Amino acid sequence: MHRYKILIADDHAMVRDGVKNLVRQSKEYVVIGEASNGRQAIEQFETLAPDLLILDISMPELNGMEVAREVLNKNPLANIIILSMYDDEEYVSRCLEIGVKGYVVKNESGSELEYAIRSVLQGKNYFSRQAQDVIFKKYSHAVTKKKQREELIRLTPREVEIIRLIAEGLTSQQMADKLFISPRTVETHRANLMKKVGVKNAIELVKKVQQLELI
Partner DNA sequence: CCCTACCTACGTAGTTACACGTACGAAACC
Partner DNA sequence: GGTTTCGTACGTGTAACTACGTAGGTAGGG
147 belongs to the binding site for its own copies (CB under 8 A): yes
Q: How far is the CB of 179 from DNA (least distance, A)?
A: 6
Q: Which residues contact 212 (CB under 8 A, 6 or more apart)?
A: 146, 149, 150, 153
152 belongs to the binding site for its own copies (CB under 8 A): no
Amino acid at 87: D
178 belongs to the binding site for DNA (CB under 7 A): no
Binding mask 129-158 for DNA (x = CB under 7 A): -------------------------x-xxx
Q: How far is the CB of 193 from its own copies (least distance, A)?
A: 13
Among 167, 176, 179, 181, binds its own copies (CB under 8 A): 167
169 belongs to the binding site for its own copies (CB under 8 A): yes
Task: Choose between 104 and 166: whose C-beta lies nearer to its own copies.
Answer: 166
Pairing type for strands 52-56 and 4-9 reads parallel
Give Cα 13 distance to the centre of its chain. 30
Amino acid at 59: M
101 belongs to the binding site for DNA (CB under 7 A): no
133 belongs to the binding site for its own copies (CB under 8 A): yes
Among 135, 153, 176, 179, binds its own copies (CB under 8 A): 135
Output b/e per residue, 177-207; b: 16+ Cβ within 10 A: eebeeeeeebeebbeebbeebebeebeebbe
Q: How far is the CB of 93 from its own copies (least distance, A)?
A: 8
203 belongs to the binding site for DNA (CB under 7 A): yes
Q: Which residues contact 51 (CB under 8 A, 6 or more apart)?
A: 4, 5, 6, 79, 121
Q: How far is the CB of 95 from DNA (least distance, A)?
A: 28
The SS3 call for residue 68 is helix
Say which entry of DNA, its own copies, none residue 61 contacts (CB below 5 to 8 A, set by partner kind): none
List 105's β-bridge partners, or say none: 84
- Tell me the C-alpha to C-alpha distance, in Å, between residue 141 and each of 71, 137, 165: 33, 6, 28
Among 26, 125, 148, 188, binds DNA (CB under 7 A): 188
> DSSP assignment of 120-169, as one string?
HHTT--EE-HHHHHHHHHHHHHHHHHHHHHHHHS---HHHHHHHHHHHHT
Binding site for its own copies (CB under 8 A): 93, 96-97, 99, 125, 127, 129, 132-133, 135-136, 139-140, 143-144, 146-147, 166-169, 171, 199-204, 206-207, 210-211, 214-215
